[in-house]
């Protein structure tokens, strides 16, 4: 494959080359790339800002992560944080630290993933920076979004008797990571072995190309449901519940048999002799939404596809517990009730 050195373009030429295919679509973007600063107009709406720093070797492994997927995921995890405030992402800036190992073609692949995510979620690229780095690739993305003041949902609004809801299913991204790590280890031992990914496309996709739950936010809006508290699940259900309960000053009960699990994740866990519930509670990177709603919205929630009720909010003195299949109560801990592997990778928030 052709390899063009980054020096071929120079810094300004490189940014122009990588961003020329991007177009803007939001009325709030008055000026995107091309001046000293971008110009935005949010009129009377509130502005939401979130940022993520991703470092090669800490947050991603390029041995099994295609650069296009990495670009897509880097953008989507930021969108997910804006949706988790009940807002809509509108603009991003992308800054890269790039070592000599990377060519212009590599960066084109990364940006094609970012562009795909921007098109899919209706977000404008409005700026960024690139710099040479001594080792590896680092990606810093800042996302700007908007919401009406009265629509914004924080982590601190959960009340006693509220229902705890989760979108989609949990643990699949973590099982996808375990599969990729296993095949990487096998490959390191014998380079003639082809990776065995058959029947595992769902968990791989969940790890390599996650989606943000824009659809759920739109559904909630359509049905007139405003969650009392909400966040996205980037570090596992257990740790996110602890955030909501500590900020809302409540306790909770969640039921083991209500935690939504995809069959592919369950079968991967069985194959690796791991507990899938532990993976769902602590695995992370699912980018599903965890939210609480008032009991008054119970029927509306039941009618929503892709949303499950996993438990309820209690008084703070009742603590945070998982109720097992035999009715036993297991205290929820930040790192789970079974120790996960120490190699667990850090996940962006």
Q: Judged by CB, which is closer to Mg ion: 233, or 266?
A: 233
* Residue span binding Mg ion (CB under 5 A) among the ranges 13-21, 211-219, 232-240, 329-337: 232-240
240 forms part of the interface with Mg ion (CB under 5 A)? no
Q: Judged by CB, which is closer to Mg ion: 152, or 323?
A: 152
Q: Judged by CB, which is closer to Mg ion: 146, or 232?
A: 232
Q: Judged by CB, which is closer to Mg ion: 102, or 291?
A: 291
Minimum CB distance to Mg ion, residue 282 (Å): 16
Minimum CB distance to Mg ion, residue 89 (Å): 13
232 forms part of the interface with Mg ion (CB under 5 A)? yes
Q: Judged by CB, which is closer to Mg ion: 93, or 239?
A: 239
Contacts with Mg ion in 12-41 (CB under 5 A)? Answer: none
286 forms part of the interface with Mg ion (CB under 5 A)? no
* Residue span binding Mg ion (CB under 5 A) among the ranges 93-101, 194-202, 227-235, 286-294: 227-235
Minimum CB distance to Mg ion, residue 83 (Å): 9
Minimum CB distance to Mg ion, residue 215 (Å): 18
Q: Judged by CB, which is closer to Mg ion: 45, or 349?
A: 349
Q: Judged by CB, which is closer to Mg ion: 58, or 318?
A: 58
* Residue-wise burial string across 144-174, b where 16 or more C-beta atoms lie within 10 A, e elsewhere: bbbbeeebebbbebbeeebbbbbbbbbbbbb
d(CA 285, CA 206): 8
Contacts with Mg ion in 55-84 (CB under 5 A)? Answer: 81
Minimum CB distance to Mg ion, residue 233 (Å): 8
Residues contacting Mg ion: total by CB under 5 A: 3
* Residue span binding Mg ion (CB under 5 A) among the ranges 51-59, 198-206, 228-236, 259-267: 228-236
d(CA 162, CA 293): 5
Residues found near Mg ion in the complex (CB under 5 A): 81, 232, 349
């Amino acid at each position: 494959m052709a390899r063009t050195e980054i020096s071929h373009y120079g810094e300004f030429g490189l940014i122009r080359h990588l961003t020329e295919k991007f177009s803007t679509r939001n009325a709030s973007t008055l000026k995107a790339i091309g001046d000293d600063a971008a110009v935005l107009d949010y009129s009377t709406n509130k502005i939401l800002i979130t940022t993520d720093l991703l470092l090669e070797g800490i947050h991603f492994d390029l041995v099994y992560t295609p650069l296009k997927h990495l670009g897509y995921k880097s953008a989507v995890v930021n969108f997910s944080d804006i949706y988790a405030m009940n807002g809509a992402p509108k603009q991003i800036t992308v800054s890269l630290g790039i070592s000599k190992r990377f060519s212009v073609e590599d960066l084109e692949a990364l940006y094609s993933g970012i562009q795909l995510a921007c098109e899919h979620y209706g977000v404008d690229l409005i700026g960024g920076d690139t710099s040479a780095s001594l080792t590896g690739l680092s990606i810093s993305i800042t996302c700007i979004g908007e919401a009406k003041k009265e629509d914004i949902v924080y982590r601190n609004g959960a009340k006693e008797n509220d229902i705890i809801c989760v979108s989609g299913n949990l643990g699949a991204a973590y099982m996808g990571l375990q599969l990729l790590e296993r095949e990487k280890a096998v490959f390191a031992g014998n380079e003639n072995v082809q990776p065995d990914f058959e029947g595992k496309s769902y968990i791989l996709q969940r790890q390599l190309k996650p989606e943000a739950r824009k659809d759920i936010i739109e559904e909630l809006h359509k049905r007139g449901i405003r969650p009392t508290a909400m966040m996205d699940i980037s570090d596992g259900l257990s740790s996110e519940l602890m955030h909501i309960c500590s900020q809302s000053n409540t306790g909770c009960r969640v039921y083991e048999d209500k935690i939504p699990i995809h069959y592919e994740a369950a079968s991967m866990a069985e194959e690796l002799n791991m507990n899938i519930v532990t993976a769902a509670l602590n695995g992370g990177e699912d980018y599903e939404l965890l939210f609480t709603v008032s009991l008054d919205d119970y029927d509306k929630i039941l009618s929503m596809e892709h949303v499950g009720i996993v438990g309820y909010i209690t008084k703070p003195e009742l603590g945070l517990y998982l109720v097992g299949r035999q009715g036993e109560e297991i205290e929820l801990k930040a790192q789970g009730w079974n120790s996960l592997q120490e190699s667990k990778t850090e996940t962006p928030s």
